[in-house]
Structures are given as structure tokens and as C-alpha cells.
Structure 1
Amino acid sequence: MENKGILVINPGSTSTKIGVFENDQLVFEKNIHHNNEEIEQLNTIEDQISFRKNIIFSVLKENNYDVNNLALIMARGGLLKPVLSGVYHVNETMLHDLKHAPKFHASNLAGLIANEIAEKQNIKAYIADPVVVDELSNLARFTGHPEFSRISIFHALNQKAVARKYAASIDKKYEDLNLIVTHIGGGITVGAHEKGKVIDVNQGYDGEGPFSPERSGTVPSGDLIKKAFSGEYTEKEMHEMIVGKGGVSAYLGTNNMIEVENRVEAGDEKATEVLEAMCYQISKTIGSMAVALKGNVDAILITGGVAHSDFVTAKIEEYTKFIAPNSVFPGEDELEALAYNGSLILQNSIEINTYQ
């Protein structure tokens, strides 16, 4: 009997999400939470790989899943060199770059873990639409100074998956539509999708665009320079001010958006103003992406964990409905999106790219 199982791996800083799919159907999924004490004891990337790999095997065993039934493994892409959208085989060049990336992100572990499991099972591992998908137009790369250039790091996997899902829902092809896709999670990215390519997107990973639950977004550059040279902060503290301890967290002392919404419902005026300000900034970014598409926008799609908030989605629609209709796809479809790409591989209906 031909193997048909697809194992999907998506690590976060304190969690590892996995799913097993067969014939486009979810067999089971598990969000494995790791406490901070466990993670802090893992001093190297190799320690992280071994720790998470062993837990994945344990979860598969607990769910009585025969690992010998796996046909391939799909992993979330990490901080690699810029690539075009698509599926990539995990090769030696990719493994090297995942281990030696200038900035470490938990997503870098996915391909490394997938490769070790794949080698053990004598199958192949792949990634699809990593965060470094780069389809920016040349004009979108300009910043205003030749020492700096805008780069593309965004929620490519979820944005592309939601765009394709929306296109299918109206019996159109993703490549035939102009869409603005907004992913609202711990970080926020807003992409201008022109006929299947993301020609512009804010680099939300380390500080561009609207502020988010834990990131400051674009801040006044002059004030930022003064803070950096004031002697009051270390480089690490400055970075945390922008990424990790910025945004809603800095204003309200929490990045838990459910807690923030509860405070809004209880009449907390500060929480209400901060949440409205975040929606306002998101909407302004959507407006800028409408300009990138020259006003030819078929729909505005809102996705990510915070898209579960009726308050947030209603506020954004209030500001942006004049541009195009809003459609909401709450949550993250990353496991499903990876599995979908895996099924295309098994059907030999997608080109497999080589990472170089």
C-alpha cells in the first residue's frame, strides 16, 4: 500500500504545532506547549532540534499513528535568503542557512526538525511559502536613502493560503485577482497581491507598518536615534522596545488580545483608545496598499488570530470599505496550507524548487 501521510511541523518560540493529514483530511493535530524553563535549558539549536523531535515522535505514538505511513514532511519556512513563492525541497544549502541565519527565529527549527525525521524515515522534507518570499516591485524597495533597502519578510504562507481560499470561494483564480491581505497576530503584515504576486508588503518582523500586540511598528526615526544614543538603553533593550515589548504590550502591559477586549467591554477608556489606534494604523496601511494596486482592489482579506475579534474587524471595515469589500478569515491556516502543498507534491501537480 502506498504511503499517504503528510506530517506538518510549525514551531513557535514556546510551542510546536504539528498535524497529520491523509487524502487532504486532518487525521489529528496537536499544539505542544513548552514552558519557559524547558526552553531556557536548551542552549544550542541542536538541543532544540533533539528536544522537539523527540516530543513529536511521542505525540505520534500517543495518537497511535504509524510513522511508517508518512509519505513526506512539510515544514514552515524560516529566515532564509529571499525566494519566490512556492515549494522547496529541504537540501544541504537550506539546512546550513537555517542554522546560521543572522537572526534566529523559531520557524528556522521547522526545516531542521523535518529533515532529521525525514532521514530517519527515508522520505523527503519540504517547505512552502516561507516568510522570506520576495515578489516586491523595484519601486517598493526604495526607502529614501541608498544605505537602506526595504525587504520582504511577512506571513507569506497564511496570506497566500487565504488569498487562494478566497479566490476559490468566488470561482476565480488567485492569479486573476488584486487583493489586499492583512494578517493580524503578534505581528501584523499587510500585503498588496497583484495577480498572484505580493508586489508590496510592510516588513512587520522587526518594525515597519502598524503597531501590533507586541511590536511598535514604524516609530519616529529621529526620536528612535536619540533613544539609541541616550546611553539609557542597551542594544538588546532597544530591540525589545521595537519587537517583543512594543505595541499594545507597551501601552497596556499585556499582549493578550482577549484580555484587552475584555477591558474594552468593561469600559476601559485607555484600552479602547489603544485598540482603536491599532485598527486605525492597520487601515492606513491597507490604504497605502490600495495605492500600490492603483486603486484596483477586488477585496480586502483579514486573517490571523486577532481576526477573531469582531471589534477589530468592524473597525477596519469602517475605515476601508470604501476601497473594496472586506472578508474575514479568522485564525491561521498554516498547518492546512502546508498540508495542501504537500498533497500537490504527492499528486505531482506542483513544481518543486531548488533552494540555492
Structure 2
Amino acid sequence: MAERFEFEVMAQDGAARRGVIRTPRGEIRTPAFMPVGTAATVKAMMPESVRETGADILLGNTYHLMLRPGAERIDRLGGLHKFMNWERPILTDSGGFQVMSLSGLRKLTEEGVTFKSHVDGSKHHLTPERSMEIQRLLGSDIVMCFDECPSLPADRKRIAESMALSMRWAARSREAFGDRPGHALFGIMQGGLERDLREESAEALTKIGFDGYAIGGLAVGEGQAAMFDCLDYAPGFLPQDKPRYLMGVGKPDDIVGAVKRGVDMMDCVLPSRSGRTGQVFTRRGVVNIKNARHADDPRPLDEGCSCPACRNYSRAYLHHVFRSQEIISSMLLTWHNLHYFQEIMDGMRGAIAEGRFDDWEAEFHGLRALGDIEPL
């Protein structure tokens, strides 16, 4: 195990990179997909089950954890890893995105954001310094800068002002983070879909100096084509020797497109949230298990999948437990989705190492284009 945070690019195919992040708590193979454990749990999953899907790192949510059960309490109880029984790396977001989405309940100033808790209406003040303190109390391995993320579409003036504020907050976050061997701080690039603002943001962050760099402010309503247009240039503005993290992405084809454009890390609630609502991701696209066509189908969700849902249960059973609102439905469908997302990452890592990423991508899209297997 590494004593400090290190990143190594081991292979490259076009812009796509395969690498490894080394931390004192273990290695993270990249490209990496991080399941989201919002409130110190990946919903409907045991931590050991999440690990079995192939996840090397989880994401915890600063905003939710500071409100309940509280960062100071988690610290007293031994830190987030011990609290949630996950001994591998954890990345915590800064709380900025959630606070920004509370537009009706918050007040934004140069100092930070004052907001009302969605849990009990209590008033809180979040600044770059407080965000760093909360993430230190949680004990996360990768800490995110406190930033402001405007939702798109927004006019250029608003995006430019927001980006400039985020860069000032990034400098304050860096200062407040201090020297914490074995822990990493990532800066967050902003700038909407404006190429020059993205470049300006990247320059400001690189000048401050971070252990890794995130691309923020995408997957917020701009659409896939616009996101990919931005990713055609944005990762290239960031240092080559540091990991690049695209925040809040996404659907399987978003993930593949992002890796193709040079992204190393992603996170999204989609596989777990979709599992709870009966939406299942397979090699041949999305399956809606609630549809009546599955009621008499003895076949697995995906014949090529080795997850427990596909190994041990039929579509008919999964349809039944979903319609009956049985808890096992959320467990099995979430496990399958997380397993499939990790399988995509594993496939891309192998393809990049062997220099056949384009062939792998063509096969990935070709299978999805077939659509689900024919009904019986």
C-alpha cells in the first residue's frame, strides 16, 4: 500500500487512459466508477456486496452527512470508513452541488453559503474552510474543493462570475486543507460550455496546485452532445500526470464517451437509483422489469452476467418482487446495475491496455443497438 497519494498512467489509447491511483487505503484502478453512498450507505447494498461488484472506491456526501448524523459525531465514532464498514478509499464531495440545488433555501455571498436544512429547517453556513473541516472530520481519502455549480442553461456573464468565485474558493480550500499526507485534495474546473472559461479555470487551478482535477458543471441539463463537445477539449486543459474526475456521470454511454475523451473517474447515483425503480442496465440496453412481458419469462436479465440476480433468479421472479414492492427487488436490481457498470470499467481498462479501445467501443454500442431479447 502506498504511504501517500500517487497516480500513474499505465497505458493510453487515443485520449483514453488506463492507470492506477495509489492511496494508503488501497489502489483504485482507472478508469474508475464510484458508486454513490450518499448517507454512508449505497442504498440496498451491504458494503461487502459493493466491493464484490468490483468497486475500488465509494463516494460519500458531505452535505447529507453534515446534517445527519453530523461530521463531529462521525469523527467521535472513528471516522466514516469505520462508521460505514468500508475500509477502502472514500471520496467526499464538498457539499457545494447540493447546496446550490436548494436555490430557494440558500443565500450566496463571497464568504460562502447560508442555507436551511431540508431535514429539519435548521440554519447552516458552509464556507470553503468549513467544507474542508467537515471532510477532515469524515476522514475521506479524496477531498473535493468547495465550489459553486450553476445549473445550465445560464448566460455567459453568470457562468463567468460563478467560475471566478469557484476559483477564489478553490484557493481558500487549498489553504484550509493544509498538509495531510495520504489524503488528496481535488480542484474543480467550472466554466459551463464556454471553452475559454474552461481554459481559464484550468489555468487557475493548476497554478494553485491540486492532487487531482475534477470537471464540474456538466450533466446538469445540457444534453449528451453538448457535454461531449466540452469533453473534447476540457480534459486536455488539465495536467497530464493527475487524475481527472467527471462529476455526476452517468449513463453507460456517457461513461464510455467520457473515458474515450480522457476522463479517469466518474460517479453517479443512476445504477442504484434505477435499480430501486425497476430500470435495469444490460449489455443490450435498458430493461424495464415492471413491464408485463417479463411476468412468465424464466430467462435471466442478462445471460452473459455473473451477478446474483442473473445467476439465481428469473425475469419472472424479478418482475414479481418488484411489483410486490419486496425489498429483495431493490437489492438484486441494484447489485446487477452496479455489477454491470463495473464490468464496463473493467472492459475499458482491458481494451485500453491492449490498444483496442475503438473495437471495444464499437462492440459496446453494437450490442446496445440490438435492444432487449425478444419476448417469449
TM-score (normalised: structure 1)? 0.27
TM-score (normalised: structure 2)? 0.26
